A and B are shown apart, each in its own frame.
Chain A
Amino acid sequence: GAGVSQSPSNKVTEKGKDVELRCDPISGHTALYWYRQSLGQGLEFLIYFQGNSAPDKSGLPSDRFSAERTGGSVSTLTIQRTQQEDSAVYLCASSLTGTGSGYEQYFGPGTRLTVT
């Protein structure tokens, strides 16, 4: 079946502009995660959605970052007033469930964001 998809694959924006990144998880997966990966670095947790529960936003680096998940499926990560340090690859992952003893997270291809 279809895997996790993300759009756009690449986004170049000017400093100060807002951007929206989209994630389509695998159908039926109740857990959805956003991560940020800077060049040559590891994966930094941003936010986690589990079913209809309130999202865990503890990883969002500033109030310029927000995310929503509509209908328990598609998610949008919004970065307002982008800064150059926001340049990174933003990865989305989904899993069948986020609770219990842990389930495999399937990653999307990522969106490469460049802020000029």
Chain B
Amino acid sequence: GENVEQHPSTLSVQEGDSAVIKCTYSDSASNYFPWYKQELGKRPQLIIDIRSNVGEKKDQRIAVTLNKTAKHFSLHITETQPEDSAVYFCAAMSSNDYKLSFGAGTTVTVRA
């Protein structure tokens, strides 16, 4: 099955700086890579996703890059704000079983 590793587990950044979270996956059949944000006590919510036919996708201050050869993908948050503080999860879905495998999460803290 798919195995997703996520780093770092915690990340503290100064407001206005950028934050980068990296994930690797093991199943070469994976073709869908969403990122979820989970605020304390809330449900996970999709913030951006990318499919394997593109290498980069942007949505305002958030961008995701995908390197299929190296089997890794990254989340980039620019101009961080206090409301970006949350736990972020990467995930990968294999075309073999259509299940999402999640990374362990990154706790992001944006210091004002």
Residues of A within 8 A of B (CB): 31, 33, 41-45, 48, 50, 56, 58-59, 91, 98-99, 101-102, 104-110
Residues of B within 8 A of A (CB): 1, 31-32, 34, 36, 42-46, 49, 51-52, 89, 93, 95, 97-105
Contact A109 B98, CB 8 Å, known A101-B32, A104-B34 = no
Q: Which of B1, B93, B99, B103 contacts A42 (CB 8 A)?
A: B103
Contacts of B89 in A (CB 8 A): 42-43
Contact A102 B101, CB 8 Å, known A91-B43, A107-B45, A108-B43 = no
| Residue on A nearest B43 in the bound complex, by CB | A107
What's the dominant secondary structure at chain A's contact region?
loop
Task: Flag if A104 contacts B44 (CB, 8 Å).
Answer: no
A99 CA / B93 CA spacing, docked (Å): 10
| Residue on A nearest B44 in the bound complex, by CB | A107
Q: Which of B31, B46, B103 contacts A104 (CB 8 A)?
A: B46
| Residue on A nearest B31 in the bound complex, by CB | A101
